[in-house]
Structure 1
Amino acid sequence: MSERGDVVDPFGHGDDTDDIMIEAAEASHDEDDRLKPEFLTAVLAAVEEGDSEKARDLVSPLHPADIADLLELIPSERRADVAAALGDLVGAEVISELNDYVRDDLIGALAPEQLAEFAAELDTDDAVAIIEDMEEADQQAVLDAMEPEDRAAIESALAYPEESAGRLMQRDLVAVPEHMTVGQVIDYLRDNDDLTRDFWEIYIVDAAHRPVGYSQLSWILTCPRGVAMADLMKREQTLIPVDMDQEEVALRFQKYALISAAVVDRAGRLVGMITVDDVVHIISEEAGEDILRLSGAGEGDINQPVLLTVRTRLVWLVVNLGTAMIAASVVGLFERTIEHLALLAALMGIVSGMGGNAGTQTLAVMVRAIATNQVTGSNTWRMIGREFRIAATNGAALGTLIGIGSYLIYGQLGLSLVFATAILINNLVAGLAGVLIPVTLDRNNVDPAVASAVFVTMMTDSMGFLTFLGLATIFLT
C-alpha cells in the first residue's frame, strides 16, 4: 500500500489527488455522458491509499450501469481491489451490466453463496446471463446455493438453447383468467406482494394457461371496475415461441413496435415474457456481431484476452492468405504480357481494388437485408437484377472516367480501352458476387456475415486480374 505521494496515476494526470477528488465529486461525467479520466484517477487513488470510504463516497451517486463502466475502464489488474473497496456498491445490478470478460474476472473471486444471492435479486434472464458461461462445476455450486424456487427457474432457462427466447425471457409476469373484471384485477395486483412490479402489460389466459389476449396497464387504469377483462383485452397478439432465435425475436419487436411479448412453449402455454429493454440490447449485440464478422475480427471485444483475439483473427488472415495466393496465381499466368508492357503491373491493382470496394458495398447491403428478413425467396431475383443494374451503371461511369484519365496520362488508346473495359466487367462481377455469395450461404444455413467477405474478395481480385491481363494479352500484345 502506497503513501499519498507514491500513488500511481495510470492516466497520466499527476498525483495531486485532493484537487481531483473535489472536481470528481462535482462532476463524474463529461458532456458525452462518459466517465471523466479525472474521476477514474480519483477512485483509483482512494483505493490505492486504502481509503475505501472515500472511494465509496465518490462512486455511490453513480447508476449501476455507470459503476459497471467504471470497472471496465480501469486496468484489469486493479479491478479486484476496486471491487473489494466498493463492497456492496458492486451488487447484482452492476454484475449484470458488466462486459462478459470483465464479469468473468470478478465473479471468479466471489463465493458461490454470494453469486447465488446476486442471481436471486435479478430477473431470470439477467441471472442466466451471469451463470450460463461459468464452468460446469462452478455453475453447479452456485445453483446448489440458491433457493429451490430460484434454482428451478434458472435450470429451466439453461435447458433452452443459447441465444433463444427461453434464455432471454423473464418468468416474473402477471397473468389473469379472462372471467375476472377490471376491479378484481386491480385488487389482485394490490393484494399480492409476491407479484413482479416491473411490467407494462397483463396477459389473459384460459384454463390451460394459454394466452388468449393482453391488456395494457393504461387500459385497466382508465376503465370502469365492472368491465370484464374478456371485453377489455386485445385478442390479436404477437406470441414468441420459446425456442425462437433471439435475432428473430428482436425483428418481431421492431416490426410490430412491441413493448413486451408473451413467450409460449410448444403446447401454447404461457411460460414467460420478453421486454423491450432486453431486445434493445440484442439488436445492438447482433448488429455489432455482423459488422465484426464481415471483417473477420471475431467478437471485437476490447476486454477479450489477447491470445484469444490473436487466434480468432489469425484464422481469417490465414484464409485470406490462401485467397490472395489464388489471385497471385492468376497474375502468374500473364508474366510474359506484363514483361512486354510493364505499365500493366502498375494499373492492375486499381482494377482489383475498385472491384473489391464495389463488392464490399453490395455485400454490406445484402448481409443487412438478409439479417433483417428483407430478402426472401419471392424477391431474391429482383434484388439480383437491381444490384446488376447498379453495378453496370457504376462500372460504366468509372470505366469511362478511368479510360479518359489513363489516355490523358499515358496517351495509349488501346491501353485505355482495355483498362475501362476491365473496370466495367469487374464491377459487374463484384455486384453479382456481393449478392449471390451471401444469398447462397444463407440458403445453405451458413451465416453470410462470417464467410462472404473472403469469397467476394477472392472473386473480385481474381477476376480483376484475369480480365485486365487477359484483355491486354489479346489486344495489346
Structure 2
Amino acid sequence: MSDTGLDPEEARAPLHDEDDRMDPGFVGGVLARLDEGDAEGARALVEPLHPADIADLFELVPQDRRAGLAAAISDRLDADVFAEMNEWVRDELIDVLAPHEVAEIAAQLDTDDAVAIIEEMDDEDQRAVLRALEPDDRAAIEEALSYPEESAGRLMQRDLIAVPEHWTVGDVLDYLRRNADLTTDFWEIYVVDSRHHPVGTCKLSWVLRTPRGVAIADVMQREQTLIPVDMDQEEVALRFQKYALISAAVVDGSGRLVGMITVDDVVHIIQEEAGEDVLLLSGAGEGDINEPVLDSYRARVRWLLANLLTALVASTIISLFEGTIARMVALATLMPIVAGVGGNAGTQTMAVTVRAIATNQLTASNTWRSITREIRVALLNGVTVAAVIGIGVALVFTSPALGGVIAAAMMTNIFIAGLAGVLVPVALDRAGADPAVASSVFVTMTTDSMGFLAFLGLATAAGLAG
C-alpha cells in the first residue's frame, strides 16, 4: 500500500479507454473510496487529473454522489474545473456553495466564464455573489449581464492589451514587462487612438521580431474585424470561421474598445449552436443527458402534442377514402410507404436548408436559386424512387395499374416534400421565427397529408377499388 492508502495496481489504473473516454474502472474506484469514507483516497486518485478530466468525472458519477465528491476534493474544485463543466452539473454544484465561495471561483475566471455561472442563479443568490466580489470584478460582471443573452457582450473578455498608436515597439515591450497585473493570455495587441477606438492590431511575433525604435503604428495591421457588442454569438462564430480569426476586438455603440473574443470561446459556441440546431429540429429541447427530467419533459411534450394535432390532419384525409381502402386492402399496406419516404425526403431538404440559413449560405440573393436546385434534386429522387416502387408493387401485387398509381403518388409526394423542405424554413426565417424550431412539424404534416391524398386520390380516380 502507498502512503495514500491506494493499492499500487489501483494507482496505475488507466484513466481513459481506447476511445479516449474516462475508464469506468477509474470512476468506480473513486466512488468505492467515497463509499468507504476514504476521502483521502478519493482525493489521491483525482489529484493528478487535468481540470477537464475532473469536470468529466463529475458528469459521469450519479447525481446523488456529486455533493460527496465535491466535499472530498474541494481543494481541486477550482475555477478551471468549473469552466470545463457541463452547465447543468455546474449549476447543481453552485447551488450547494455559499455566495462567498461562488464569488471566489468567479473572481478567478475570465469574465465570460464568470457570467455563465452567475447568470443562471436566482436573483437573490446573484446579488449575494455580486456583493461578495471585489468592486472591479463586480463592475465587469454587472456590465456583461446588462447585455442581451448569447450576445458578444456576454461572450467577450475584458482583460486585454491595448496601447496607444504613438508608442514605439520598445514602449510596448516595457509596458508588458513592468505591469504584473496585465492578462497573460493574449495573442494580439490592440492599438487604439485617443478616443480608445481600435485602429489596428499587432501580433506578438511582430513585436518580438521588430527593433525597439520602430513605431507600433508602422508594424500594426490596420485591417481588422470588429465585433459589435450586441452581435449574436452565432454571428460572431460565423465571422471567426469566415475570416479565420484568432481573436477579435469588441466595440460598443460609439466604437470604443470594450473587450475581445478569442477563438477558444468561439469553438464552444460553434459546437453548441450546431448541436442546438440538430436538437431543435427533432423537438428534443436542449437534449442534455444531465438536464433535469421535468425540464426535458416540458421541452419535448409540447412538440409531441403539436405533432399529434398535425397527425389529425393526415387521419382526416384517410377517413375521406374509407370506402376505397375497404374495397382494396392493399392500399392500406402501401400508403405508409408513400408518406414515410416523402417524410424522409422532406427532412433531408429541410436539414440542408436550415443549415444553410444558420451559416448564412442561404440569403435573399440566392433563395430562388436554392429553391430551383432543390426542385431538380426532388425530381431526380422522385423519378428514381417512383420507378423502383412502381415496378416492385406491379410485380408483387400483379397489378400494373396499382404500380403506376403508387409510382405517380411517390413522385408527387417527393416533389412536394422537396418544396416544403426548402420553403417552410425560408418562410419561417423571413417571418423572424427560428426555422430550426418549427420546420419539422409543418414539413411532416405536409408530406404525410399530401402522401395520403395523392395515393388514395389517384387510386380512387383510377378505379382500382371499383
Shorter-chain TM-score tier: over 0.9
Distance 1:279 1:34 in 2: 24
Of 374, 378, 388, 2:361 maps to 374
Q: Which residue of 2 aligns with 1:263?
A: 250
Of 190, 198, 208, 1:211 maps to 198
Secondary structure of 2:180's counterpart equals coil
Distance 2:405 2:21 in 1: 54
CA deviation string 1:130-176 (max 9, x = no partner):
10000000000000001101000000000000000000000000000
Q: Which residue of 2 aligns with 1:140?
A: 127
Secondary structure of 1:272's counterpart equals strand
Secondary structure of 2:287's counterpart equals coil
330-339 or 276-285, which deviates more: 330-339
Q: Which residue of 2 aligns with 1:111?
A: 98
Distance 1:468 1:381 in 2: 29
Deviation at 1:224, TM superposition (A): 1.2
Secondary structure of 1:30's counterpart equals coil
Q: Which residue of 2 aligns with 1:333?
A: 320
Of 267, 270, 273, 1:286 maps to 273
Distance 1:282 1:25 in 2: 36
CA deviation string 1:256-306 (max 9, x = no partner):
000000000000000000000000000000000000000000010111111
Of 155, 158, 171, 2:158 maps to 171
Query: Unaligned stretches of 5+ in structure 1?
Result: 1-16
1:240, 1:262 within 8 Å by CA — same for their partners in 2?
yes
Of 237, 250, 259, 1:272 maps to 259
Deviation at 1:31, TM superposition (A): 2.3
CA deviation string 1:222-255 (max 9, x = no partner):
1111111111100110000000000000000000
* 2:370 is aligned with 1:383: yes
- With the length of structure 1 as denominator, give the TM-score of the two structures: 0.95
Query: Unaligned stretches of 5+ in structure 2?
Result: none
Deviation at 1:24, TM superposition (A): 5.0
Deviation at 1:402, TM superposition (A): 0.9
1:92, 1:119 within 8 Å by CA — same for their partners in 2?
yes
* 2:389 is aligned with 1:402: yes
* 2:437 is aligned with 1:450: yes
Distance 1:39 1:153 in 2: 40
- Mapping of 1:21-32 within 5 angstroms? 22-32=9-19
Of 413, 432, 441, 2:419 maps to 432
Identity of aligned residues (%): 67
Distance 1:323 1:24 in 2: 58
2:13, 2:26 within 8 Å by CA — same for their partners in 1?
no
Distance 1:31 1:277 in 2: 26
Deviation at 1:26, TM superposition (A): 4.2
Distance 2:280 2:13 in 1: 42
Distance 2:80 2:299 in 1: 31
**Amino acid in the other structure paired with 2:231:** M
Distance 2:408 2:74 in 1: 69
Q: Which residue of 2 aligns with 1:418?
A: 405
Secondary structure of 1:385's counterpart equals helix
- With the length of structure 2 as denominator, give the TM-score of the two structures: 0.97
Distance 2:263 2:199 in 1: 21
RMSD of the TM alignment (CA)?
A: 1.1
Secondary structure of 1:467's counterpart equals helix
Of 76, 96, 109, 2:83 maps to 96
1:165, 1:246 within 8 Å by CA — same for their partners in 2?
yes
Deviation at 1:186, TM superposition (A): 0.7
Q: How many residues align?
A: 460
Deviation at 1:22, TM superposition (A): 2.6
2:250, 2:257 within 8 Å by CA — same for their partners in 1?
yes
* 2:214 is aligned with 1:227: yes
**Amino acid in the other structure paired with 2:81:** V
Distance 1:347 1:115 in 2: 61
Distance 2:395 2:28 in 1: 60
1:24, 1:39 within 8 Å by CA — same for their partners in 2?
no
**Amino acid in the other structure paired with 2:276:** E
Q: Which residue of 2 aligns with 1:5?
A: none
Deviation at 1:50, TM superposition (A): 2.1
**Cα distance 1:456–1:320, how it changes in 2: closer, same or farther (>3 A)?**
same
- Mapping of 1:337-376 within 5 angstroms? 337-376=324-363
* 2:144 is aligned with 1:157: yes
Distance 2:19 2:178 in 1: 44
Of 241, 248, 268, 2:235 maps to 248
Secondary structure of 2:170's counterpart equals helix
Distance 2:55 2:82 in 1: 7
Distance 1:425 1:313 in 2: 32
Q: Which residue of 2 aligns with 1:10?
A: none
Deviation at 1:18, TM superposition (A): 6.4
Of 25, 34, 39, 2:21 maps to 34
CA deviation string 1:418-456 (max 9, x = no partner):
110000000000000000000000011100000000100
Deviation at 1:34, TM superposition (A): 1.6
Distance 1:217 1:284 in 2: 28
Distance 1:285 1:137 in 2: 29
Distance 1:150 1:410 in 2: 76
Secondary structure of 1:32's counterpart equals coil
2:6, 2:41 within 8 Å by CA — same for their partners in 1?
no
Distance 1:125 1:24 in 2: 36
- Mapping of 1:14-25 within 5 angstroms? 22-25=9-12
32-41 or 268-277, which deviates more: 32-41
1:25, 1:58 within 8 Å by CA — same for their partners in 2?
no
Secondary structure of 2:462's counterpart equals helix
89-98 or 247-256, which deviates more: 89-98
Distance 2:239 2:439 in 1: 26
95-104 or 119-128, which deviates more: 95-104
